[in-house]
Structure formats: structure tokens, C-alpha cells
A and B are shown apart, each in its own frame.
Chain A
């Protein structure tokens, strides 16, 4: 099968700090791909580079055959995204937010209107369509963003921690819709999450990143087998946990050294 996302040797530096350090991976057309890692691993930075919001320092990205740095508009046409933090216009109504998105993506009017209704009914916000978004709760905003990201039926949908703060009902509801869309229309799903059980259940392939590098990839079963763990959560901790302990101990070491110096100085 064809690769819809291809990343080779991707690097992003902010001054001295290397957020993404030579990442390479590919995602096949129609795949559900999970991009996992602890906070600050470089997941969101990678997504921003894939979605033309950030320019890469080095490396190659091809999204549906187009390079985000050279051909941003073509790339933007092919994906939809649900951001980690809110990106709705609070001063517009839910319906207006959808309409705005549909117009920006050039969805023809009859189709746009039909899809807005369908999606808003699906996320159970249709009866609130004329309410201003600022009156919505966090969960409602999340649902609206997911509906909006799907409005133009993208080839790839990026979901950056889409289920954060959603109750199990909504989460299940959302995933069954995405899986159906994936089956019926062949939409590629690229998502990040901190819920390992969720990744285990829906992702066909998983990559685990830490400190800007991919440290493991494969199916959930492969990851479990290679680490000898029964659950993905344990496999994840096995792969990334050690690094966290390292950090903790070094910080403690620094603290101890510091206090020793301080007490030593006090005695003299």
C-alpha cells in the first residue's frame, strides 16, 4: 500500500533545544496510526510541522506526495486537524464556526449544509447550533472541534489528544465514527493520546517517541512482545519510564549536591 505520510530525518530546533531529533516514519494510506510519548516528547511539534504551522529545521516531509514547506496549500487541502488546545471562535455560534470552516475549505453549499447537520447531530450539538461557543463546556467545545475537523472529509485527519476531557460515552462514540469513516472512505487517522488502552484498541500501528526520537514502533502486539509485557501501558512504561527515572534521580542528585555545598559553606 501507498504511504500517505512520509517523514525522513525530521529535525526541529528552538535555539539550543532540539525538540525533534531526526525522526523518520511513514503512515500508509487508510491506516489508523498512534503517535505516543510522554509530555514534551515532541509529538505536537511534529504534528505542527506536518500541518504547515511550523517550518522544519531539517529533513523531508511528504504528505499525500506534497512537501509542506514548498507546497503548503496543497498539503493543507489534504488534511483535517483537531488541535490539542481549543481553536474555536468563542464569539461565533457553533453553526457559524462550522460554516466558516466549510467555506474556507471550499465545500460546496448544499453538501456543506448537509454535512454540518449530520456532523452536529452526530456530536449531539444540533439543538445548540445557534448558541455562542463561549457558552459551551469544555467537552462540548471538544466535540464541536472534532465535528469541524471532519467537515471537509480530509484524506488524513490529525487528532492531537482528541479525547482529553471526554467521558467514555463520547470517546467511544467518536472512535466508532472515526473507524467507520476510516473503513468507508479510507481516511487515514493520525492521533496522539495519553490513554494507552485507547491506542491499543483503535491503532493499527504505533510509534513511541521520547526526547524527540522514535524509540519503538510496530503494532500493539509487536510492542508488547518485544518488551515482554501484557499490556501496552506496561510496554510504554518499559520503553519510556527509565528515562523519567533518570531525570528524577539527576534532579535529586543536583538537589543533594546543592544542599551539601550550602551546609558545607555554612559550617566554615
Chain B
């Protein structure tokens, strides 16, 4: 328990100490929110889909979570390069606990980032339809954050250096984001695209945000929650396994 706590605390300290990273990672969601939110608003309205800003905000919250979460997982490569990973690997604690502590820390950071984006959206005119559901959104956000931190850690366990980072951004994170329905409704899509959005776990995360925040959505909360829970559990197991196999 203490191991998990101290590793969690470490991730949080890193987050609060790198203010530039915190502010830097808010730039992108803000750009999406304002440029797309206001830019496509009129077209969206004409197409009879309603208020685009209300539709987009849950998607952008999802975006900030997936980016921060995967990045937190990938941080493992830094620890390996700067040597700190060795310090944790020779300690008499199970690798499983190390993995869990790291992942919880990364997920907490990603959730906080999501919360910040939520309040930014509110600042620019976003209104959740029921404020009492906001604490439940927090749980959904934490689940999404856990899923992608575990994914990031699993990938980082397989990589020795940052060479593969660009590859991961372009061939994993970007597709996961663009195919998640963060920017467009999931109904009435071409068959291939519809299929792709359905195998993207982020789709279910953003769908749950939308259900809880703006009373819209495609899959229903039950399906969203089950998919997220199963995939998160699976990735945690895979991540722990790969992490335990790391040799330095």
C-alpha cells in the first residue's frame, strides 16, 4: 500500500512541479475547443445537430485525458534513460505494485487535466445539463485515464528510448483521438469508419461523458461502462506483465 502511495505521490509532484508542461498541454484542447467549437458551430447548427460547442466539449475533455494519460505512461522511458527505474526495480517491492502506483499516479494527473479542461469549457460557455452528475463524470474520467495510462506503460515497457515516441503519437494516439467521435457524431457514418469508431475504446469514454454531461450519446451508459472496465482491466494485466519482464 505504502509503495503504491509513494509512487503515486511522485507522479503528482512531477506534475505540479512542471508548470510549463501543465500549461503547455492546455493549449491544444483550448485551440480545439475555441477554433472548432466556434468555427464549425454554425454549420453544425444548420445540419440540425444542435449546439456544437456543447457537443464538442466532452470530446475535448477526452482528448486532454488521453494525451496526458499516454504521456504519463510513456514517462517510464525517461525513468529508464535517466536511471531512476533501476532504483525502483531493485527495491523489495513487487513489480505489480510499482506498476499500479505509477498507473494510478498517471491516471490521477490525467483526470486533473480533464477537470481543468472541463472548467475551461464552462468558462467559455459550456453548460452541463445536470450539475449533480458531474461527480459521476469524474469516475468515468478516471476510468478512461486509467485505461490509457496502462496502455502507455505497456508500450513504454517494450521501448528502450524515445525514438519510437513520434510513431506512437502518429499511429496510435492521433488515430485513437480522431476515430473516437470526439469531433463528430457517431451516427450515420460510412461502414468502415463506423466499425473503426466502435473498436476505439476512447469512443466509449467520450460517449459516457456526453451522456452524463449533455444528455446525448450513442451506446448507452451500461455498454460504455462495461467496455471501459473490461479494457482497463485487460490493459492493466498486460501492462503489469510487460513491466515485470523489463530487464535493465
Contact = CB atoms under 8 A, between A and B. Distances in A.
Nearest to A51: B90
A106 interface: yes
Interface in A18-57: 48, 51-55
A124 interface: no
Interface string A186-222: 0000000000000000000000000000000000000
B6 A104 contact: yes
What is the interface residue range for chain B against chain A?
A: 20 to 34
Contacts of A87: 83-87
Contact of B248 (A54, A99, A106): A54
Nearest to B3: A104
Contacts of B91: 76, 101, 104-105
Interface stretch (B12-20, B32-40, B166-174, B206-214): B12-20
A91 B89 CA distance: 19
A85 B88 contact: no
B247 interface: yes
Contact of B247 (A53, A88, A105): A53
Given A54-B248, A88-B84, A105 B92 contact: yes
Contacts of A132: 17
B90 A103 contact: no
Nearest to A76: B92
Contacts of B83: 83, 85-88
B28 interface: no
B136 interface: no
Given A48-B248, A91-B13, A104-B3, A53 B92 contact: no
A48 B85 CA distance: 14
Contacts of B18: 91
A101 B10 CA distance: 12
Given A85-B83, A99-B6, A104-B6, 19 more contacts: A48-B248, A51-B90, A53-B86, A73-B94, A76-B90, A76-B92, A87-B85, A88-B84, A89-B10, A89-B84, A91-B13, A91-B17, A91-B18, A92-B10, A101-B91, A104-B88, A104-B92, A106-B2, A132-B17
Interface of B: 2-3, 5-6, 10, 13-14, 17-18, 82-94, 247-248
28 contacts: A48-B248, A52-B90, A53-B248, A54-B247, A54-B248, A73-B92, A76-B90, A76-B92, A79-B90, A81-B90, A83-B83, A85-B83, A87-B83, A87-B84, A88-B83, A88-B84, A91-B14, A91-B17, A92-B10, A96-B13, A99-B6, A100-B10, A101-B91, A103-B2, A104-B3, A104-B88, A106-B2, A132-B17
